[in-house]
Structure 1
Amino acid sequence: MALTHASSGQVINVRPLGSGLPDTKTTALFKSEDLSVLRFVLAAGQQLPAHQMPGEITIHCLEGCLEVTCDGTPKTLHAGEMLFLARQTVHAVKALQAASALVTIALKQ
């Protein structure tokens, strides 16, 4: 089944999920030639192993608490905080609490 992405000019709800957080999965919101945006959802303790992306990334914690390890240094993101990662930055993500985040990935270098 193909993912439905937002179209140009469409309003996208990225408010905190609140009580719906445990039942929500990570969702791609849109992808263009230059940019990909997704709502990333992790249960407490869940993690993504270390990886890197060719483009720049922002991680904006919408709710909960995330630990993002960048080049071996852990950074804690609370709701309302954002982290910028330069291209090719090795990073891992762990949910210290159930969390959702808005992740933006630049696809063009």
Structure 2
Amino acid sequence: MALTHASSGQVVNLGALDGQATETCALLKARDIEIMWLVLPAGKQVPSHAVSTSMTLQCMRGKVEVQLDGNVKLLEADQVMYLAGGVPHGLLALEDARLLMTIVLPASRTD
């Protein structure tokens, strides 16, 4: 589903999005931040990877295992997790899950 990125001041209804978006999509990408809607069906695995900047994962629905340095953390609906930049992590959806991922983008140089 192709969505237009939100603009400054625009309200995005996540409840409506949950029923409409059947796959992962970008909600917003600006110079300093990116927000993604992650759709993970039960059993879906996201291989371990790292993002160079800080990020949060907010579980809106379902349950997800987050693999961190050999440890497993459970992330459930109404919970949020912060990950520092460069931290390797993988995901495994234990149930159909919806997550809101916010990534802080590197500051762009203006000189």
Alpha-carbon separation, structure 2, partners of 1:49 and 1:98: 17
Seq. identity, %: 43
User: How do residues 23-62 of structure 1 correspond to structure 2 at under 5 angstroms?
Assistant: 24-62=22-60
Equivalent in the alignment of 1:83: 81
State how far apart, in whole Å, the 2-side matches of 1:55 and 1:13 are: 26
Alignment of 1:56-71 (within 5 A): 56-71=54-69
Q: Aligned residue for 2:11? A: 11
Q: What letter matches 1:67 in structure 2?
A: E
Residue type at the aligned position of 1:12: V
TM-score, length of structure 2 as denominator length:
0.87
Q: Secondary structure at the match of 2:6?
A: coil
Once residues 53 and 103 of structure 1 are traced to their aligned partners in structure 2, the CA distance between those partners, rounded to angstroms, is 12
**Larger Rg over CA atoms:** 2
Distance across 2 between alignment mates of 1:52 and 1:3? 26
Deviation at 1:40, TM superposition (A): 0.4
Per-residue CA shift, 1:58-93, capped at 9, x if unaligned?
A: 000000001111122110011000100000000001
Pairwise CA distance, 1:3: 5.2
Preserved CA contact (<8 Å) 1:14 1:102 = no
Q: Is the CA contact (8 Å cut-off) linking 1:5 and 1:31 kept in structure 2?
A: yes
**Runs in 1 of length 4+ with deviation above 3 angstroms?**
none
- The residue matched to 1:97 in structure 2 has which SS? coil
- Give a deviation string over 1:31-68, Cα, whole Å, max 9, x none: 01111001100000001100000110100000000111
